Amino acid sequence: MSNTQTVQAGENAAFDAASRSGITDWVRANLDGEVTAITRLERWRPQWKVDFTVDGESRAVLFRGNRPIAGANDLRFEMEVMQVLHANGIKVPRIYGWVDEPIAFVMDWVDTDDRAPGMLHTAIDNPSSMSDERWQAMLNYMTDLAAVHAVPVDQFAVVKRLSNPPEGEKQVALHATEFMYRLGSQMGKIDPVFEFLQHWLRRNVPEGRDKVSFIAGDAGQFMSAGTEVLALLDFEIANLGDTHWDLACFRGRHPYENMGDIPALYREYARVTGETVDLRAVGYHTVNFLQLSGIGAQFFREAWAQGANWIEGAMEYGSITRRAYEAIAELQSIPLDYDLRLPEPVDKPWEVSGLEKLMADITRLPTSDAFEEWERELLHAIPDFLLSYSRYRDWFERETRRDLEQVLNQSFEDLASADAAAMTAIAQEQGSDIEWVQALHKRALRFSMIVAGANPDTGNPLFHRLDPILG
C-alpha cells in the first residue's frame, strides 16, 4: 500500500471511529439511550442507522450526514425545511436535532423495506422494479405531494434560503438552475452540452407560470409499507418555484428508481389538486431539473470531495444530459439519431498496463467499517471506466469534433478548439436548435457508450430513452 493509500485509510478509519463515538455520546445525552448497533448505509452521503435501547425498549434513528459536495449550510437547510414541513402536517420523519460530531441531523428511522438508491451504478446491475403495492403507493404519494405544494410559502420565511421568493416568470422558472450554472462556471464544469441547455432554458421560459409554491426539488422519494406512504424524504434541493418542476422529477429519476406509469401519476395529481397539468411546462422543467442535476453531478469528480461517488458523476453526465436533449427534441419535434456503434477498441499499452494494475491492486485492498466493500467497488469502477475511455477516446473526440464542425461550418484541429468555438457560438445564439440538439445528443450518447463499453441497448438503464408525455 502506498503512503497516500495509508494516509487515506487512516483518515477513513479516524473519521469512522470519531463518528461512532460521537453518535454514541449524542444518543446517550439527548435520547437517554444506549447504542447497540451502528450501520453505515450506502447512499450519496454518510448516513447511519443507529439502534439503541431506552429502559430496555429497542428503538432506532437515522443520522443523516452531509453530502461530500455540499455547501456549508446545506445540511442544516434540509433539517430546517423538514421541521417546517412536519409542523404543517406533512409526512416527514420527526427531527430530534443537530449533531456536531459527526456533522448530521437525527430523525426517526422509518422501518420498512428500503427503496432503490436511485443511482445509475446500482440500477445497471440491479434494475429497479415495482410491485403492485408500490405502484398504488406511488399514486397515493401524489396526494402527499399536492399537500407539500399547498403549504403556504410564508411558512418557510424562517428558513433563510427560502425567505426571498422569486418573482415573475423568469425567476420562478430559472433561479435554481441559474445558481447552479453560475457555480458550475466558476468551477470550470460548463462545456457546450451544458451551455446550450442553459441558453435554451432562458429562451423558452413558459408563459403565465409565475405562481410561487414550495417544491421538494427532487420529488418522488418516499418510504412506504404496502400501499401506505410512510414518510417523504430528501429535501436537500427543496426550493420555491413552479410545482411542475416536481412533476418533471419523475421523468428525471426514472428508471434508476422506477416511477411506473408517469402520465398516470400526472393524471392523479390533476385529480387530487383539481388543476390541469401543463405537459409542455413539465417538458420544460424536465430540461430544467436535468440541467441542474447534471451540473451538480460533475462535482462528484472533485478530488477534494471525500466520499463522493466519482463514477456516478461520470455515468450521470452521459445519461442526464442525453435525456435533457431528448426532452427538448420531444417539445420541438426534432429527430434524433440512435444508430451509433462503437468502433474496434484501440489499446494504448501504457494506459492498459497501468489501469489494469490499479484495478488488480484495488481488488486486494482490505475492507472494514471505514472502507466497506461497496466503496471498494466504486473505487475500482474509476480505472475500469478510464480503461474504456482510453480505448475509445480518439473515436469520441474525432466524431464529436466533426459534429461541431458541421454546426459551425468550419474546421478545427482538435475537440478542445471546437468546444471553445462552440461555447462562443452558443453564447451568441448562432446555429439552429435542431443542429445543436442533434449534435450534442450524439455527444452524450457516445459518452454513455464508452461508460458501458457497449452499443446503445434500451434494456440497459444507462441507455433508457426519456419517456414521452406529449402523445
Cell representation of residue 424: 462562443
Q: Is 321 exposed, middle or buried (0-12, 13-18, 19+ CB in 10 A)?
A: buried
Q: How far apart are CA 136 and CA 110, in angstroms?
A: 19
How do residues 16-26 score in pLDDT, each as one tens digit? 889 999 999 99
Half-sphere exposure of 22 (CA within 13 A, CB side): 18
Percent of the chain with pLDDT over 70: 93
pLDDT band at 45 (very low <50, low <70, confident <90, very high): confident
pLDDT band at 128 (very low <50, low <70, confident <90, very high): low
Contact criterion met (CB below 8 Å) for 152 and 379: no
DSSP 8-state class, residue 131:
-
Sequence-distant (≥ 6) Cβ neighbours of residue 34 within 8 angstroms: 27, 28, 52, 53, 54
Contact criterion met (CB below 8 Å) for 285 and 279: no
pLDDT band at 139 (very low <50, low <70, confident <90, very high): very high
Strand, coil or helix: 37: strand
Residue 167's pLDDT is: 97
Q: Return the residue matching grid coordinates 422509518.
A: 110
Q: List strand residue ranges (DSSP E) for 242-281, in order.
A: none
Handedness of CA 460, 465, 469, 471 (dihedral sign): negative
> Where do the domains of the chain lie, and which CATH numbers do they carry?
16-108 (3.30.200.20)
Average pLDDT over the chain, rounded to an integer: 92
Q: What CA–CA distances, in Å, run from 216 to 148, 149, 169, 240, 249?
A: 8, 8, 19, 9, 10
Opening angle at CA 466, ends 461 and 471, nearest 5 = 140
How do residues 153-169 score in pLDDT, each as one tens digit? 999 999 999 999 999 99
pLDDT band at 306 (very low <50, low <70, confident <90, very high): low
Residue 118's pLDDT is: 45
The amino acid sitting at 412 is F
Opening angle at CA 287, ends 284 and 289, nearest 5 = 105
Mean pLDDT of 95-102: 96
pLDDT greater than 60 at residue 451: yes
β-bridge partners, 213: 241
Sequence-distant (≥ 6) Cβ neighbours of residue 338 within 8 angstroms: 445, 456, 465
pLDDT band at 303 (very low <50, low <70, confident <90, very high): confident
Percent of the chain with pLDDT over 90: 82
Q: Specify the DSSP element, H or E, that contains 49.
A: strand 47-54
Q: How far apart are CA 1 and CA 302, in angstroms?
A: 23
Q: Is 308 exposed, middle or buried (0-12, 13-18, 19+ CB in 10 A)?
A: buried
Cα diameter, the chain: 76
Q: How far apart are CA 142 and CA 257, in angstroms?
A: 16
pTM assigned to the model:
0.91
How do residues 351-396 score in pLDDT, each as one tens digit? 999 999 999 999 999 998 778 888 899 999 999 999 999 999 999 9
How do residues 242-296 score in pLDDT, each as one tens digit? 999 999 999 999 888 889 999 999 999 999 999 999 999 999 999 999 999 999 9
CB count in 10 Å sphere of residue 128:
19
Contact criterion met (CB below 8 Å) for 292 and 298: no
pLDDT band at 125 (very low <50, low <70, confident <90, very high): low
Contact criterion met (CB below 8 Å) for 72 and 49: no
Q: How far apart are CA 236 and CA 66, in angstroms?
A: 10
